[in-house]
Chain A
Amino acid sequence: MKVLVAVKRVIDYNVKVRVKPDNTGVDLANVKMAMNPFCEIAVEEAVRLKEKGVASEIVVVSIGPKAAQEQIRTALALGADRGIHVETDEEVQSLEAAKLLKSVVEKEEPKLVILGKQSIDSDNNQTGQMLAALTGMAQGTFASEVVVDGEKVNVTREVDGGLMTVSLNLPAVVTTDLRLNEPRYASLPNIMKAKKKPLESVSPADLGVDVAPRLSTLKVEAPAARQAGVKVADVAELVDKLKNEAKVI
């Protein structure tokens, strides 16, 4: 079966995020960018499905500026077979991303679409679910285990009260959580090979989607900084301070 994986280019998770002095956003100039960590987990899961003989082809898609091709190449180096780049310099919000992906899904007809549960920039946690709704597919969100079984897929989900397993008709959408797998690193030969794998570029207009944002960001501020407090000498002093100074016990 064909598996479609969506990946997003975001700020590297190790980078210290700085708000721009004019409060219009976060400073991304000369900042290290990378594949969103949850998307790495999505790629890894698809590659494992292929290694198990469950997936026959892995198509990776990314929406974003020219530079997002780096993340597609990374996914190709990790084992995806071909890439689709939906190229745009505009800000693409979740609903519009889901519409673009829907259009790709209609063309590619994958049996399974795997996405990260959230991107670590906008922290929205929406796109996979929106794509599932727009295409009428079932969804297994926050997945920690994915088992394809004939025309169904069983997904174990990390939920507030523990774990929950659902059975979904295929085609379905899965969004990944942290415990689904541990992504591998791309080997040098595979990075070289990835350069030759097919990568097609399309525009939102080609896909017939209007990406004009519905949400406008009025301002972006730094959070109120917490002041570091005091160091206590021992446990007795700690308990005394909690009881008599902070009055929280």
Chain B
Amino acid sequence: MSILVIAEHDNSSLKQATLNVVAAAKAIGGDIDVLVAGENCGAVAEAAAKAEGVNKVLVADNAAYGHFLGENLGELVAEVGKGYSHILAAAGTTGKDFMPRVAALLDVAQVSDIIRVESEDTFVRPIYAGNAIATVKASDSIKVITVRPTGFDPVAAEGGSAAVEQLDVVKDAGISAFVSEQKAESDRPDLASAGVVISGGRGMQNGDNFKMLEQVADLLGAAVGASRAAVDAGFVPNDMQVGQTGKIVAPQLYVAVGISGAIQHLAGMSDSKVIVAINKDEEAPIFQVADYGLVADLFEAVPQLEEELKKVL
């Protein structure tokens, strides 16, 4: 078996999710090559070459891939990937965008968002917002798979010394173009891989009040997340949404503040190791999954939390 892992990156650094995907590839077994497609992405290729268990790094460095447009990546990955038994990418918004195109171009099914590998053709994935866990078997000759990073512990980022090979395949479909982006700037850790996440919901009342959570987050080295209601209301940007249709997180500690615990929210955080809920409604469903529940008004509890943490940290 030979597995092609598509690296997730921003042209300058390799995203940790790639290491989780390599771990999924190791669980399948076989030679693992990593494809780095981007523009001026040499540093990413070097980082990928050091990852544990990587056999070879293929680099497609061209302006056509600079913004990871699905039309171009889809064609590239279908072309490079057709010689492999498995093609894997992280189930982030980039992988979700181009991987189904790869599958369609190869005329094979895609298995989305796997959390476990049972064998080379059998995988486990959540369905119905995580209310059911399906074991599915893929019959196509090439398996196109997106991997939920929280399902696999990352391989070591250092220690490997894979060969790096430049590809000169340029696939520019010419039907789409990048216009602009609005990147959320934050010095805090990445939500998807942070060890501690503190999220706010509709109970926060407005965006300014999220500053209270940010102060606690800074003490804990945490990322800040949100419920859909908080994003829809415009308190915080969309990339902070945790849940079935937002980001999936599984930190050591997840603190839900003013979040009721709708099933769609739980789908994104219920694999966290320890869950804390702060909510003034003792009947809120979030308490059914919380290891530690505090029934309190968040406007009193969160400032107190900041003070108490300062004492012990």
Chain A residues whose C-beta falls within 8 Å of the C-beta of B196 in the assembled complex: 248-249
Interface residues of B in 89-127 (CB under 8 A from A): 92-94, 96-105, 107-113, 122, 126-127
Q: How large is the interface on B (under 10, 10 to 19, 20 to 34, 35 or more residues)?
A: 35 or more
- Bitwise, B171-188 to A at CB < 8 A (1) or not (0) is 001011111111110000
In the complex, A141 Cα to B95 Cα: how many Å?
11
User: Is B299 at the interface (CB under 8 A from chain A)?
Assistant: no
Binds A, one of B55-63, B134-142, B157-165, B206-214: B134-142
Do most interface residues of chain B lie in helix, strand or loop, or is the interface mixed?
mixed
Flag B275-313 by CB within 8 Å of A: 1 or 0 each.
110000010000111111111100001001100110111
Taken together as a complex, chains A and B put the C-alpha atoms of A158 and B94 apart, in Å, by: 11
- CA distance in complex: A158, B245 (Å): 11
Q: Which residues in B have their C-beta under 8 angstroms from that of A161? A: 10, 181, 183-184, 239
Residues of B within 8 A of A236 (CB): 304, 308
Binding site for B on A (CB under 8 A): 11, 13, 16-17, 19, 26, 38, 93-95, 98, 117-118, 120-134, 136-139, 141-142, 144, 154, 157-169, 172, 177-179, 213-223, 226, 228-232, 234-236, 238-239, 241-243, 246, 248-249
Q: Taking A132-B70, A178-B232 as given, write out 10 further A-B residue pairs in contact, using a Cβ cutoff of 8 Å, ordered by the A residue number.
A: A95-B103, A123-B128, A123-B244, A125-B113, A144-B238, A157-B93, A169-B175, A214-B139, A235-B305, A243-B312
A-B contact pairs, 15 of them (CB 8 A): A95-B104, A125-B112, A126-B112, A139-B71, A139-B176, A142-B96, A160-B94, A164-B178, A165-B178, A167-B177, A228-B293, A229-B290, A235-B305, A239-B312, A246-B291
Instruction: Please name the 8 residue pairs, one residue from A and one from B, whose CB atoms are nearest each other, closest first.
Output: A129-B100, A229-B291, A214-B109, A17-B131, A130-B104, A133-B101, A133-B104, A126-B100
